[in-house]
């Protein structure tokens, strides 16, 4: 069995007047902030897509879904994730598991983690017990700590029988 591992990272700015969507879950920020970006700016799903693409050396989401392309304006990132999984499967690869970390001071993400895992598992075509989602604050440090943005990290493990 051949194995491949990939990692992904992303960060988006927190701004007023934008939705806050993480792994397809719409959240309410106490200061009314959301994530800036060309698509729906779902930073967690973006990091995951980069991990999947990276595992197969297929570049990054900017290559597959260019930010200037009107087709991806306000795009549902879970739909983009489905397209990435088509690329993975077309090449004969299957997914073993993924593990994600989202770095945000607010809002409290714990009540939403299970829904995030379910949303991602459904699009990835694997059971939720193979989708790890963890949330942490940055203890007030750096750009995420100052709530200038929300960042996310992901790893994905793929196999080919
Ligand atoms: Mg992004």
Domains and CATH numbers, the chain: 2-160 (3.30.1330.50)
**Ligand 1 mean position, distance from CA 47 (Å):** 7
Instruction: Round the average pLDDT of the chain to a whole number and report it.
Output: 96
- Alpha-helical regions (H) of 7-108: 43-55, 61-64, 77-90
pLDDT in tens, 100-140: 999 999 999 999 999 999 999 999 999 999 999 999 999 99
**Ligand 1 mean position, distance from CA 2 (Å):** 29
Indicate if the pLDDT at residue 69 is higher than 90: no
Which protein residues have their CB within 5 A of the ion that is ligand 1? 10, 46
What pLDDT band is residue 16 in, cutting at 50, 70 and 90? very high
Identify the residue with better confidence: 84 or 72. Answer: 84
**Ligand 1 mean position, distance from CA 114 (Å):** 22
Indicate if the pLDDT at residue 156 is higher than 90: yes
| Predicted pLDDT at 157 | 98
Could you tell me which residues come within 8 angstroms of residue 57 by beta carbon, excluding any fewer than 6 positions away?
none
Indicate if the pLDDT at residue 50 is higher than 90: yes
**Ligand 1 mean position, distance from CA 50 (Å):** 9
């Amino acid at each position: 069995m051949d194995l491949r591992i990939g990692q992904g990272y992303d960060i988006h700015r927190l701004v007023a007047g934008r939705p806050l969507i993480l792994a397809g879950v719409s959240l309410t920020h106490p200061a009314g902030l959301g994530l800036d970006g060309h698509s729906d700016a779902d930073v967690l799903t973006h990091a995951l897509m980069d991990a999947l693409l990276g595992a197969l050396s297929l570049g990054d989401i900017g290559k597959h879904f260019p930010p200037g392309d009107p087709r991806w304006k306000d795009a549902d990132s879970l739909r983009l994730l489905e397209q990435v999984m088509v690329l993975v499967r077309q090449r004969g690869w299957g997914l073993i598991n993924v593990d994600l970390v989202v770095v945000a001071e607010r809002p409290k993400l714990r009540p939403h983690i299970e829904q995030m895992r379910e949303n991602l598992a459904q699009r990835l075509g694997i059971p939720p017990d193979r989708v790890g989602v963890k949330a942490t604050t940055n203890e007030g440090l750096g750009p995420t700590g100052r709530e200038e943005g929300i960042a996310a990290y992901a790893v994905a493990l793929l196999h080919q029988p």
